[in-house]
């Protein structure tokens, strides 16, 4: 019996649609004609700035390959097909080779014109956008392509790099040098000491040794240089729900937008295994799926993204603000939206840092679930994020011990999650309980000890993984010296808190706004963050209109 088609294969016609001659004619105005000889490349892996290519005649073979020399042909495009996936929206490096099998006549649509097409041609734009997304999903599901990570699957740095690439929608491979022949050959070829692992081999042939997320992102071309002389209408710091919502609404209304995030789009919401109380998704949706839709939507409207790139300082200058990005880059903008969210709060246990990454985790994704399959785990926390993680991990592990400091979950968690957790036979809730000790060797956790604060009784168990969902602190340290007013806990104050002249989301600096979890008094819900992201765009328009009017010379037509 034949294997059933995968869900992606069942959507083949949506993934690789064929446009009619009339539809091709409608799209000609967005691009320029170009001819390719047989064997010539329309795009090569690692090369940036390729747009979407409409095939007017001929055949184009799409091939996925990796730095180890493995390759596979994915599809052959014919007349009426188009060559491209999500990288074409931004001009980022191509993830596939596109080679003319026969002489080809094509219409090449550059990234900026492709975004204009998606908006101007609504029906065709919807079909094209759906195909671009499905093609990226296909690249993520195949075992060939993207950078190759070489290291032990349980190693903290390997897990960090995997999470970084997964959350940014980038295909990759991980090879274990203890069992994979190709990995062993790479280690020997480059004379890598086992203590120097992991290494990453990028598609362009560059070898990185224990790279940071930023180093890997730049190697893959995920981040383009920022023009220091360009003045954007708005710079958005943080690409969580609030920041992405602001990017979508601002870009769709014609503002020039640059969005920064030091790690990945989605923020804490992107790490949620399932969000079930977000309006419009009655069966729930994973945080990553919801945030990926928002990210792609922002790109569609022309918002620029610099991920991973980190804002380090904020200073006022004539006409707006200057942000220092990394060691030697700057970003200038007329207005700034701080949507930097919060940092995960750490457990107050002496040697926690020895286990972070490999055994102590701050989110529960498939990467972490793979590590603790069939084992017992401890999860600390009683909020909604903790509840979603408990439900997810209960389906992957033998048992989940949930520890909370309070008397139960009723005061901190939504009732639908409480009911679901009560129905899980392999979850045991321990109230009035805190972790007091973690023990292990070489970064691998072996035992967890917890204590009941009411009875004083301690329990020590052999458990290899602990998940920490104990809240977060505002990510505002980088704003020290900026002049922005913070409350006692470090959250940004806005509106009436800073003075009668400030709008509801405006900070103590005119033209600087705060939204989402970083803002004092915000409601810590995805829907509330999205709402603030939409609301702040109206405030930006009002501010820009006022500053333009003030700058106009006397007697000018306003």
Give domain status of residue 226, yes or no: no
Give domain status of residue 480, yes or no: no
155 and 132 both lie in a single domain: no
Domain-terminating residue out of 119, 141, 163: 141
> What's the pLDDT band for 518 if we cut at 50, 70, 90?
very high
pLDDT at 314 over 80: yes
Question: Comparing 42-46, 78-82, 321-325, 343-347, which segment has the lowest mean pLDDT?
Answer: 343-347
Backbone angles phi, psi at 333, to 5 degrees: -150, 150
pLDDT value at position 31?
Answer: 97
Per-residue pLDDT, averaged over 129-154, amounts to 92
pLDDT value at position 550?
Answer: 66
Q: What is the CATH number of the domain that holds 372?
A: 3.50.50.60
Per-residue pLDDT, averaged over 6-29, amounts to 92
Backbone angles phi, psi at 219, to 5 degrees: -65, -35
Q: What pTM did the predictor assign?
A: 0.91
pLDDT value at position 5?
Answer: 60
314-342 CB burial, b ≥16 within 10 A, e <16: beeeeebbbbbbbeebbbbbbbbbbbbbb
Give domain status of residue 494, yes or no: yes
502 and 430 both lie in a single domain: no
pLDDT at 325 over 60: yes
Domain-terminating residue out of 219, 239, 258: 219
Question: In this structure, are residues 173 and 149 in contact, taking their beta carbons and an 8 Å threshold?
Answer: yes
348-384 CB burial, b ≥16 within 10 A, e <16: ebeebebbbbbbbbbbbbebbbebbeeebbbbbbbbb
pLDDT value at position 367?
Answer: 85
Q: What is the CATH number of the domain that holds 44?
A: 2.60.120.10
pLDDT at 6 over 80: no
- Mean residue pLDDT across the chain: 93
Q: pLDDT per residue over 217-258, tens digit each?
A: 999 999 888 999 999 999 999 999 999 999 999 999 999 999
Rounded to whole angstroms, how far apart are CA atoms 483 and 503? 17
15 and 132 both lie in a single domain: yes
Give domain status of residue 78, yes or no: yes
Backbone angles phi, psi at 304, to 5 degrees: -90, 145
Question: In this structure, are residues 203 and 67 in contact, taking their beta carbons and an 8 Å threshold?
Answer: yes
Rounded to whole angstroms, how far apart are CA atoms 306 and 543? 25
286 and 174 both lie in a single domain: no
Please give the share of the chain, as a percent, with pLDDT higher than 90: 81
pLDDT value at position 553?
Answer: 57
Give the list of residues 6+ apart from residue 62 with CB closer than 8 angstroms, or none: 73, 74, 75, 76, 77, 83, 96, 97, 98
Rounded to whole angstroms, how far apart are CA atoms 170 and 479? 31
Q: What is the CATH number of the domain that holds 214?
A: 3.40.30.10
Q: Is 395 exposed, middle or buried (0-12, 13-18, 19+ CB in 10 A)?
A: exposed
Per-residue pLDDT, averaged over 368-387, amounts to 94
The position carrying tokens 């045991």 is 428
Long-range CB contact pairs, 346-353, < 8 A, 24+: 346/468, 347/380, 347/435, 347/466, 347/468, 347/470, 349/435, 349/436, 349/437, 349/438, 351/438, 352/438
First to last CA, the chain: 74
Backbone angles phi, psi at 440, to 5 degrees: 180, -170
Q: pLDDT per residue over 258-309, tens digit each?
A: 999 999 999 988 888 888 889 999 998 999 999 999 999 999 999 999 999 9
pLDDT value at position 558?
Answer: 41
Per-residue pLDDT, averaged over 408-425, amounts to 95
pLDDT value at position 63?
Answer: 95
213 and 302 both lie in a single domain: no
Give domain status of residue 224, yes or no: no
CA atoms within a 13 Å half-sphere pointing along the CA-CB vector of 354 = 13
186 and 278 both lie in a single domain: no
Helix axes 415-422, 384-394, angle to 10 degrees: 30
Instruction: Give how many domains the chain has, as a whole number.
Output: 4
Q: What is the dihedral of CA 459, 464, 470, 475, to 10 degrees?
A: 150
> What's the pLDDT band for 215 if we cut at 50, 70, 90?
very high
pLDDT at 2 over 50: no
457 and 425 both lie in a single domain: yes
Domain-terminating residue out of 141, 168, 191: 141
Residues in the chain: 558
364 and 460 both lie in a single domain: yes
464 and 363 both lie in a single domain: yes
Segment (H or E) for 468: strand 466-468
Give domain status of residue 263, yes or no: yes
40 and 15 both lie in a single domain: yes
> What's the pLDDT band for 1 if we cut at 50, 70, 90?
very low
Per-residue pLDDT, averaged over 531-538, amounts to 97
Give domain status of residue 404, yes or no: yes
Give domain status of residue 478, yes or no: no
Give the 3-state secondary structure of residue 227: coil
120 and 67 both lie in a single domain: yes
363 and 419 both lie in a single domain: yes
Cα distances from 433 to residues 398, 402, 419, in angstroms, run 21, 9, 21
State the residue range of the domain holding 438.
352-470
For residue 65, the cross-strand partners are 71
Q: pLDDT per residue over 438-491, tens digit each?
A: 999 988 999 999 999 999 999 999 999 999 999 889 999 999 999 999 999 999
DSSP 500: T
pLDDT at 3 over 70: no
pLDDT value at position 531?
Answer: 97
Give the 3-state secondary structure of residue 300: helix
């Amino acid at each position: 019996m034949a294997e059933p088609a995968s869900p992606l294969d069942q959507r083949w016609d949506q993934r690789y649609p064929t446009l009619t001659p009339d539809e091709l004619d409608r799209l000609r105005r967005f691009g320029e004609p170009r001819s390719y000889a047989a064997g010539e490349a329309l795009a090569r892996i690692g090369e940036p700035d390729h747009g979407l290519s409409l095939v007017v005649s001929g055949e184009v073979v799409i091939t996925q390959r990796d730095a180890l020399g493995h390759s596979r042909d994915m599809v052959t495009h014919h007349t009426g097909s188009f060559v491209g996936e999500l990288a074409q929206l931004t001009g980022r490096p191509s993830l596939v080779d596109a080679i003319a099998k026969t002489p080809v006549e094509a219409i090449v649509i550059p990234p900026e014109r492709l975004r204009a097409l998606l908006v101007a041609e609504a029906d065709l734009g919807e079909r094209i956008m759906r195909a671009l997304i499905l093609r990226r999903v296909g690249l993520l599901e195949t075992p060939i392509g993207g950078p190759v990570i070489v290291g032990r699957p349980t190693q903290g740095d390997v897990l960090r790099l995997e999470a970084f690439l997964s959350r940014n929608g980038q295909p990759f491979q991980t090879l274990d040098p203890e069992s994979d022949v190709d990995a062993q050959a790479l280690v020997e070829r480059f004379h890598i000491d086992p203590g120097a692992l992991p290494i990453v081999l990028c598609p362009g042939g560059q070898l990185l040794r224990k790279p940071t997320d930023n180093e890997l992102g730049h190697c893959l071309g995920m981040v383009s240089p920022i023009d220091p002389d360009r003045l954007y209408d708005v710079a958005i710091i943080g690409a969580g729900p609030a920041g992405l919502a602001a990017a979508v609404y601002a870009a769709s209304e014609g503002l020039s937008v640059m969005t920064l995030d030091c790690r990945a789009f989605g923020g804490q919401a992107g790490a949620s295994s399932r969000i079930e109380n977000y309006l419009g998704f009655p069966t729930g949706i994973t945080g990553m799926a919801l945030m990926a839709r928002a990210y792609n939507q922002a790109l569609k409207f022309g918002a620029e993204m610099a991920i991973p790139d980190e804002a380090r300082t904020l200073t006022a200058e004539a006409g707006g603000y200057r942000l220092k990005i990394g060691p030697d880059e700057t970003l200038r903008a007329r207005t700034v939206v701080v949507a930097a969210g919060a940092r995960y709060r750490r457990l107050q246990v002496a040697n926690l840092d020895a286990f972070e990454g490999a055994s102590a985790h701050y989110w529960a994704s498939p990467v972490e679930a793979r590590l603790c399959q069939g084992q017992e785990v401890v999860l600390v926390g009683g909020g909604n994020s903790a509840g979603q993680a408990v439900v997810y991990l209960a389906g992957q592990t033998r048992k989940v011990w949930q520890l909370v400091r309070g008397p139960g979950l009723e005061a901190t968690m939504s009732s639908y999650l409480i009911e679901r957790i009560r129905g899980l036979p392999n979850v045991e809730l321990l109230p009035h309980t805190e972790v007091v000790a973690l023990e292990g060797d070489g970064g691998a956790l072996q035992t967890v000890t917890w204590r009941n604060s009411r009875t004083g009784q301690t329990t020590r168990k052999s458990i290899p993984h602990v998940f920490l969902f104990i809240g977060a602190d505002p990510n505002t340290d980088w704003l020290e010296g900026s002049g922005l007013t913070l409350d006692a806990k470090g959250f940004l104050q806005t509106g009436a808190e800073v003075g009668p002249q400030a709008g509801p989301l405006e900070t103590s600096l005119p033209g600087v706004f705060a939204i989402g979890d970083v803002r004092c008094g915000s409601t810590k819900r995805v829907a509330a963050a999205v709402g603030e992201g939409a609301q702040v765009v109206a405030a930006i328009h009002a501010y820009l209109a006022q500053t333009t009017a003030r700058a106009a010379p006397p007697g000018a037509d306003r």
